[in-house]
Each structure stands twice: as structure tokens, then as C-alpha cells.
């Protein structure tokens, strides 16, 4: 079994996709994210951070509910948004969760209409998510989880105010940041927007050792 206390349908999907055991970052973060506390996780590239996000969001939301997004995931660019959407499609196969990736390159009104028809998880770059929110009145009142994946890259390439605006528009959401390393912008975000966050760091040596067991 991948991890105890995961939803049965999620466990089945993990087994079908060949996930036999969690990586060190998955082992240490999935339970902490489920607690509802703000969290900051630092781990090397290719350590399983994105999969940890996908598993936790599916576990927390479980099924479609109402029409508004309950999880908002900020990623670096379109390629990252599409890749995460593909992983959701695989691991949420046995649920009715509605997951959408939004990005520059497709007409905003078409993307807005898909989201408005019912959405549980919304993935995209901060700039486009802000445009969708500002120009289309995206409803974030029901948001439970606000997540930044690969924070070092996101905060490096995005205008900080775009990330901050989404944060201040979701005051009651749990805030979660995954990153490969820290920088000044992430430190500022930690100080201004996260409440008593749980902080976990996985060293590259630990990740390699445990993955070889």
C-alpha cells in the first residue's frame, strides 16, 4: 500500500499507475497538508513534490461539490499546468472531481465558461489566473487550498503582486508552498501571508538514500 489512510479509490489509482511507495517528501508532507495548517516544503528537483500535491488535493476534496473552485494551484507556466492536469486525470480517474488547467494561448472566455460550468481544482500561472479573476469575476469564495508548486521558479518569474493578489482574495484558504530552495520573495511571502506554517525540508542526500532502499 502506498500510504495508509488514503481514500480507497485513490489507493486503487496509485496502484494502477505503479506508485508502490512514497518518496521522502511525499511521506513527510501528505499528512501535514491534510491537517489544514499553512505549510512550506523544501525538497530537490524530481523528488515527487507535484505528485504529493495531486494526491493530497484528491484526498481532501474527494468528489465534485457545488460550482466554485476549492483548490487553486499556481504553477510556473503552461507546460507545468498541462503536466499537472494530466497527473490529476490519472489519479482522480475514479472520482468525479472537475480539474481544469488555464493558461495564455486559448481564448479566455472559453476557459472561463468551462470553469463556470463547475470546477473543483484550478491550475495555472499566476498572471493568467489573475486575468481570469479580474476580467471574468472568477468566484474564489469557496476556496479551501491555495498552493504554489515549484515556488522558486514561480516567484522568480511571476510579478509578486500577482501572487499576492490571489492570496489576499482567498483569506480563509490554507496556504501551501513547495520549492526547491528559498529566495527573498518566498521569505517575504512566508512572513506576510502564512500563519504559523509547518516547515519541512528534505535534503538531496536523504532523498537519494531513501529512494534507493
Residue pLDDT, tens place only, 85-118: 999 999 999 999 999 999 887 777 788 888 888 9
Confidence bin at 211 (pLDDT 50/70/90): very low
pLDDT at residue 43, rounded to an integer: 94
Residue pLDDT, tens place only, 131-183: 888 877 678 889 999 999 999 999 887 778 889 889 998 889 999 999 999 99
pLDDT at residue 33, rounded to an integer: 92
pLDDT at residue 1, rounded to an integer: 66
C-alpha dist (Å) from residue 153 to 25, 50, 124, 160, 186: 19, 14, 14, 12, 10
Residue pLDDT, tens place only, 183-192: 999 999 999 9
Query: What stretches of 57-144 adopt beta strand conformation (E)?
Result: 71-75, 99-101, 121-125
pLDDT at residue 86, rounded to an integer: 97
d(CA 63, CA 118): 12
d(CA 41, CA 149): 10
Q: Mean pLDDT across the stretch 9-21? A: 90
From its phi and psi, is residue 51 left (phi > 0), alpha (psi between -120 and 50) or beta?
Answer: alpha
pLDDT at residue 152, rounded to an integer: 93
d(CA 152, CA 137): 28
For residues 199 and 33, the answer to whether their CB atoms sit within 8 Å is no
Residue pLDDT, tens place only, 24-81: 999 999 989 988 999 999 999 999 999 999 999 999 999 999 889 999 999 999 999 9
Confidence bin at 213 (pLDDT 50/70/90): very low
Amino acid at each position: 500500500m502506498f500510504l495508509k489512510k488514503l481514500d480507497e479509490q485513490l489507493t486503487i489509482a496509485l496502484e494502477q499507475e505503479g506508485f508502490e511507495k512514497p518518496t521522502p517528501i511525499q511521506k513527510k508532507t501528505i499528512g501535514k497538508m491534510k491537517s489544514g495548517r499553512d505549510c512550506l516544503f523544501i525538497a530537490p528537483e524530481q523528488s515527487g513534490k507535484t505528485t504529493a500535491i495531486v494526491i493530497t488535493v484528491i484526498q481532501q476534496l474527494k468528489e465534485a461539490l457545488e460550482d466554485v473552485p476549492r483548490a487553486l494551484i499556481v504553477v510556473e507556466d503552461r507546460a507545468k499546468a498541462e503536466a499537472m492536469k494530466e497527473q490529476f486525470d490519472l489519479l482522480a480517474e475514479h472520482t468525479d472531481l472537475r480539474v481544469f488547467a488555464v493558461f495564455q494561448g486559448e481564448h479566455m472566455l472559453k476557459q472561463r465558461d468551462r470553469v463556470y460550468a463547475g470546477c473543483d481544482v484550478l491550475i495555472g500561472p499566476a498572471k493568467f489566473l489573475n486575468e481570469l479573476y479580474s476580467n471574468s469575476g472568477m468566484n474564489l469564495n469557496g476556496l479551501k487550498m491555495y498552493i504554489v508548486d515549484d515556488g522558486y521558479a514561480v516567484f522568480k518569474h511571476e510579478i509578486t503582486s500577482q501572487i499576492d493578489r490571489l492570496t489576499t482574495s482567498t483569506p480563509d484558504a490554507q496556504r501551501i508552498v513547495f520549492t526547491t530552495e528559498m529566495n527573498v520573495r518566498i521569505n517575504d511571502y512566508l512572513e506576510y501571508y502564512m500563519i504559523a506554517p509547518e516547515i519541512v525540508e528534505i535534503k538531496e542526500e536523504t532523498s537519494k538514500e531513501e529512494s534507493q532502499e
